[in-house]
Amino acid sequence: MRLLKLGILDQSPIGTGENATTALWHTIELARRAERLGYSRFWVSEHHDSGSLAGSSPEVLLSAIGSHTSHIRIGSGGVLLPHYSPYKVAENFRILEGLYPGRVDLGIGRAPGGMPLSSLALRGDGASSRDDKLPEMLAELGAYLETGAPLPKEHPLAGLTATPKVGTAPEIWLLGSSGFSAALAGRMGAKFSFAQFINGNGGQSATSEYSRGYRPGPLGRRPQVSVCVFVICADSDLTAEREAKAMDLRLLQQEKGEYFRSFPTPEEAAAYPYTEWERARIAENRKRMIVGGPARVRSSLLALADSYRTDEVLIACMMSDFRLRLRCYELLADLFFLRR
C-alpha cells in the first residue's frame, strides 16, 4: 500500500470570535498534536498587517513550538528574505538550530507577505530594490550558515561569522509558486517546495524543471521536492464541502486585497451573492484545494504526490472551527498510517 509523508503548514488563522493570542496557542497545540500523530514536519508562515492571520514572526513562534515538542521537524514556511539582512536570518536560525539540533528547516520565500505599506516598513528606503538581489542574498546566507562557500575576499563582509557557532545547520528550502523560484532553487542547491495552495497551475512542470536543472550550490547538496496544498477533510463529503465554501469566499477576499477581514463563516459564504466572475474564480481556485471525506481526499493526495513525483505533501488546513482542523489532521494521519 502506497504511503506518504505528510507535513503541516500552519498560518495561525484567527477564527470567528477569537483573537490573535488564541490563534497562536492553537498553533502550538496543533504542533503538539502533529508530533503525536506522526507528521514529518511542522512549518509556520509569515504574514504582516493581517487581521486574520497571527503569524508575523516565524522565528519567534518556532522557538516556542520547539519548546513544546521533542522530535518533529519545525520550520519556516517561509522567512521572506528580501525584507531582511541575510546575516540576521542566519543568526536567528543558528540559535534555533542550537536549541533544537537536527530539527530545523529554514524555508525561504520572496513574496511580500502583506500589502505595500508593510513592505515599506520592513525594508525601509530599499523597499523596491532587493528582489533582483535575491541570488546574492541567498549566497550570502549560505556563507553564514556554512552550507556554501565563504564570502569572497573582495566582499565587504568577508570574514564575518554568524553566531552562535553550533554543530549542525538547518535544512534550507526555497518555497515558490512559479518556474522562476524552482529554477533558482535548482541553481542554488536548495530543496524546493511548490506552493500549490497559492498557484494551482504549473507546479508539476516547475518541479520537473527544478529536478532537471539541479546542481549542488551554496544552499545544499541534494535535491528534494515537496508540494503544499490546501486540504479540507472531514468525516463526510458534505461537511467538507460546507467548509470549503467558506474557504472559497476567503480566497476571493484575498484577491480583492481584503486582508483585514476575519475569516468568513460557512453561513456567510452560503448567503454571499456571487457574480458570474466570482464563480469562475472559485472554480479556478479549487485547483489549490483538495476537498472531501476520507476516501476522496486519500485518492486525491496520492494522485497529487504522483504528479509531482514526491513522497511528501504539506497540508494547509483552514476550517471554521479549531476542532474541525484537528479532526482533519487526525483523519489524514489515520488514512496514511502516520501513527504506525
Helix (H) or strand (E) holding 230: strand 225-233
CATH topology of domain 5-238+293-335: TIM Barrel (3.20.20)
pLDDT of 128 > 70? The answer is: no
pLDDT at 3: 77
pLDDT of 1 > 90? The answer is: no
The model's pLDDT over 209-225, given as tens digits with 9 standing for 90+, comes to 999 999 999 999 999 99
Residue-wise over 90-99: b if at least 16 C-beta within 10 A, else e? bbbbbbbbee
pLDDT of 340 > 80? The answer is: no
pLDDT of 26 > 80? The answer is: yes
Determine if residue 172 is left, alpha or beta; phi over 0 gives left, psi from -120 to 50 gives alpha, anything else beta.
beta
Distance, CA of 3 to CA of 261 (rounded, Å): 38
Query: In the chain, where are the structural domains located?
Result: 5-238+293-335
pLDDT at 131: 62
pTM of the full structure: 0.95
Amino acid present at 65: I
- C-alpha torsion 37→40→42→45, nearest 10: -140
Maximum Cα–Cα distance across the chain: 63
Total count of residues recorded for the chain: 340
Distance, CA of 134 to CA of 148 (rounded, Å): 15
Distance, CA of 98 to CA of 101 (rounded, Å): 5
pLDDT at 116: 78
pLDDT at 132: 78
- Portion of the chain with pLDDT greater than 70, in percent: 96
Which residues lie closer than 8 Å to 276 by C-beta, 6 or more apart?
none
**In the predicted model, what is the mean pLDDT of the chain?**
93
DSSP for 108-151? EE-S-SS-HHHHHHHHGGGTTSSGGGHHHHHHHHHHHHTSSPPP
The model's pLDDT over 52-61, given as tens digits with 9 standing for 90+, comes to 899 999 999 9
Residues forming beta bridges with residue 80, ordered by sequence position: 109
Distance, CA of 47 to CA of 68 (rounded, Å): 23
pLDDT at 125: 62
Residues 29 and 335: beta-carbon distance below 8 Å: no
* Section 256-268 average pLDDT: 80
Q: Which of 40-44, 130-134, 252-256 is least confident?
A: 130-134
Amino acid present at 187: R
pLDDT at 176: 96
State the helix-helix crossing angle for 276-285 and 237-255, rounded to 10 degrees. 110
**Residue 257 binned pLDDT confidence (cut-offs 50, 70, 90):** confident
Which residues lie closer than 8 Å to 32 by C-beta, 6 or more apart?
68, 69
pLDDT at 34: 98
pLDDT at 156: 95
**Residue 15 binned pLDDT confidence (cut-offs 50, 70, 90):** confident
Amino acid present at 325: R
N-to-C CA span, the chain: 13
- C-alpha torsion 160→166→167→170, nearest 10: -80
**Residue 234 binned pLDDT confidence (cut-offs 50, 70, 90):** very high
Q: Which residue has the cell 469566499?
A: 249
Give which of 128, 35, 113, 123 is closest to 79, Cα–Cα. 113
Give which of 178, 299, 321, 188 is closest to 246, Cα–Cα. 321
DSSP for 45-59? ----S-SSB--S-HH
**Residue 267 binned pLDDT confidence (cut-offs 50, 70, 90):** very high
**Residue 119 binned pLDDT confidence (cut-offs 50, 70, 90):** confident
Residues 106 and 76: beta-carbon distance below 8 Å: yes
- Portion of the chain with pLDDT greater than 90, in percent: 84
The model's pLDDT over 50-84, given as tens digits with 9 standing for 90+, comes to 888 999 999 999 999 999 999 999 999 999 999 99
The model's pLDDT over 157-204, given as tens digits with 9 standing for 90+, comes to 999 999 999 999 999 999 999 999 999 999 999 999 999 999 999 999
Determine if residue 54 is left, alpha or beta; phi over 0 gives left, psi from -120 to 50 gives alpha, anything else beta.
alpha
pLDDT at 256: 83
